[in-house]
A and B are shown apart, each in its own frame.
Chain A
């Protein structure tokens, strides 16, 4: 979680300096969801993510250096500089992020089918936001996964806002988790600021999926401390009071407090902090020293050569 936090703030700074360009959607505040959920996965499992995807990628173990280089548009970037913040992927770890809202859920159904056909027992975590919960593709995907009993776990990261629109306004019926019942699958609300709670909830779903009982829906209540994207004037649609209230439940703070109760010392935490700091700094250096992607590269990878 610390790594995610550090990475995101580093990116924020770089973006402010215009070293990183385009659009940046920070995961700050939601770390517990990514970490809690993905920590349940094995190497064959799949993750689909969103425009706010850095957290999931880092939680999955994607190389932070390559991620930073990608943001810098360098040839050593995860996607050779062709994807940027919103389109990052590491197929070796079966994770990718793309920003079409609701675009990831059908794809998750696909990896679910692949899992069933191959019988390798892999599961798919499909992350989507409260906004995507209302997208047609999400409903279709839940329905299809349900009738075919696919090993997919639909995780709604309800950070209360879809850009500037309140979730409480746009979600008819008031709850994403309750919608699962309509598809005959279990749906549960989880405290998204508590990494252990998320971990436990997802673990249950993974076990259910591996048993062959099909998909589940989790609604993790969480909050983003930064704006929708960098440049967002979030004070126009949410109050500082509200933000502060949620900041008091900062998942990193919470977990640090918990750790102290089970014998982890402050200095050990500090050591992790320092290591994380080093990792991020190395990532920045790596990105800075890498060469920009060759212009020829812009024309490649549209089509694959036919494979057998």
Chain B
């Protein structure tokens, strides 16, 4: 099965085509457009899908980050299915949970992942647990989309990542794509998934364009990592914007004779352990690059899994490059000091190459 995965996911042009066998129009679109397209196509295909969130309709052209342009959404589907909400995350995300139970496919937006505090109960104690507590009686096919990440000088309360918070609680699936191709396929899969999925969109990647995005619908299964670059000396696991930094670092490292493999897990829960373990068994060295805070986070989880399940194959200490446990500063140069960077990845890689 692993062989299959390696063959299918070479670079960024692998696809899983849906039953629609229309002519593939391949073009490059931005991350934001890819997400919008996924939403629009799903809403067209499935009447049960509807959106809830703040300023989805007209603000900034549609959605605080322009993901839901008026012409594509409000005008097309109407206010019943594109619902602008008051600032009541608790109410409308909770409503999303129940509407999902009642048979709908809501996609609620949490504008910034930093705001998780005002709706965490609804996601964690309700959405995540209803199915289990009620002995399997309920299914909650709800997607909560949220924007995350730093690098835009938005300051401490608008730059956090925090996917670890959701990953920590059982019953929540967590997705964080890094490319337009991945974003579209994963969002479609998330909407179709029968569980609550928190979908993390990196705000600094919205304008990013890179890689072909097929026009037709396609799904990328949740829980499948992507080997974005193959290598044999060192494994780098990175998500979201960190994937791009890692690829850049890998290019630099090639020049120094270090052949790094970059793995983008794409989904945090469920995590594709096998791909990561297979890689580390090959390279014997691992770095995890994570934009979330270091303490008790995703990077630590991967390090623990690898040290447990690939123990006899490690040559070097497992390194985590993540945000230190301090609020993210506003000034650009300060923010840069704190966040993971290409230089930090290159330096750490060279350290590991000594082992």
Binding site for B on A (CB under 8 A): 46, 48, 77-83, 87-91, 94, 96, 98, 100, 103, 105-118, 136-137, 140-141, 143-144, 147-148, 300-308
Interchain CB contact under 8 A, B194 and A110 = no
Chain B contacts for A136, CB-based, 8 A: 90, 118
Which single member of B85, B104, B118, B171 contacts A114 (CB below 8 Å)? B104
Interchain CB contact under 8 A, A306 and B193 = yes
Which single member of A110, A118, A140 contacts B98 (CB below 8 Å)? A110
Which single member of A46, A78, A79, A137 contacts B102 (CB below 8 Å)? A46
Is residue B92 contacting chain A, with contact meaning CB distance below 8 A? yes
Given A117-B50, A137-B91, are A98 and B99 neighbors across the interface (CB < 8 Å)?
A: no
Q: Can you list 7 pairs linking A and B with CB atoms under 8 Å apart?
A: A80-B136, A100-B121, A106-B93, A109-B98, A141-B88, A301-B135, A303-B195
Given A80-B135, A301-B136, are A110 and B100 neighbors across the interface (CB < 8 Å)?
A: yes
CB distance from A243 to the nearest CB of B (A): 32
- Give per-residue flags for B79-109: 1 if the beta carbon is below 8 A from chain A beta carbons, else 0: 0110101101111111111111111101000
Complex Cα distance, B125 from A101, in Å, reads 11
* Residue of B whose beta carbon sits closest to that of A108: B98
* Residue of B whose beta carbon sits closest to that of A106: B94
Interchain CB contact under 8 A, B91 and A140 = yes
Interchain CB contact under 8 A, B133 and A82 = yes
Given A110-B97, A111-B98, are A306 and B194 neighbors across the interface (CB < 8 Å)?
A: yes
| Closest 4 pairs (CB-CB, A-B) | A106-B94, A110-B98, A80-B135, A114-B102
Chain B contacts for A90, CB-based, 8 A: 137
Complex Cα distance, B18 from A308, in Å, reads 13
Chain B contacts for A91, CB-based, 8 A: 101, 134, 137-138
Complex Cα distance, B91 from A96, in Å, reads 18
Chain A contacts for B137, CB-based, 8 A: 79, 89-91
Chain B contacts for A108, CB-based, 8 A: 98
Given A103-B125, A109-B91, A143-B86, are A77 and B99 neighbors across the interface (CB < 8 Å)?
A: no
Interchain CB contact under 8 A, A114 and B194 = no
Interchain CB contact under 8 A, A307 and B141 = yes
* Residue of A whose beta carbon sits closest to that of B173: A303
Interchain CB contact under 8 A, A107 and B171 = no
Is residue B277 contacting chain A, with contact meaning CB distance below 8 A? no
CB distance from A140 to the nearest CB of B (A): 4
Interchain CB contact under 8 A, B92 and A304 = no
Interchain CB contact under 8 A, A109 and B139 = no
Chain B interface extent, by class: 35 or more
* Residue of A whose beta carbon sits closest to that of B50: A117
Is residue B122 contacting chain A, with contact meaning CB distance below 8 A? yes
Given A79-B137, A110-B97, are A144 and B122 neighbors across the interface (CB < 8 Å)?
A: no
Given A140-B88, A300-B136, A302-B132, are A307 and B194 neighbors across the interface (CB < 8 Å)?
A: yes
Complex Cα distance, B170 from A108, in Å, reads 23
Which single member of B89, B102, B121 contacts A103 (CB below 8 Å)? B121
Interchain CB contact under 8 A, B90 and A106 = yes
Interchain CB contact under 8 A, B91 and A141 = yes
Given A106-B92, A140-B88, A144-B88, are A304 and B131 neighbors across the interface (CB < 8 Å)?
A: yes
Interchain CB contact under 8 A, B90 and A137 = yes
Is residue B64 contacting chain A, with contact meaning CB distance below 8 A? no
CB distance from A57 to the nearest CB of B (A): 12
Interchain CB contact under 8 A, A89 and B99 = no
Chain A contacts for B104, CB-based, 8 A: 113-114, 117
Interchain CB contact under 8 A, A114 and B136 = no
Interchain CB contact under 8 A, A109 and B95 = yes
CB distance from A211 to the nearest CB of B (A): 18
Given A110-B97, A308-B192, are A79 and B135 neighbors across the interface (CB < 8 Å)?
A: yes
Given A107-B126, A114-B98, A137-B94, are A98 and B88 neighbors across the interface (CB < 8 Å)?
A: no
Interchain CB contact under 8 A, B135 and A77 = yes
* Residue of B whose beta carbon sits closest to that of A94: B102
Given A106-B91, A109-B98, A144-B92, are A302 and B131 neighbors across the interface (CB < 8 Å)?
A: yes
Complex Cα distance, B98 from A292, in Å, reads 30
Complex Cα distance, B130 from A111, in Å, reads 15
Chain A contacts for B90, CB-based, 8 A: 106, 136-137, 140-141
Interchain CB contact under 8 A, A96 and B135 = no
Chain B contacts for A301, CB-based, 8 A: 131-132, 135-136
Complex Cα distance, B193 from A110, in Å, reads 19
Which single member of B125, B130, B139 contacts A307 (CB below 8 Å)? B139
Chain B contacts for A80, CB-based, 8 A: 135-136
CB distance from B192 to the nearest CB of A (A): 6
- Give per-residue flags for B140-180: 1 if the beta carbon is below 8 A from chain A beta carbons, else 0: 11000000000000000000000000000011010000000
Chain B contacts for A305, CB-based, 8 A: 194
Complex Cα distance, B173 from A80, in Å, reads 23
* Residue of A whose beta carbon sits closest to that of B193: A306
* Residue of A whose beta carbon sits closest to that of B103: A114
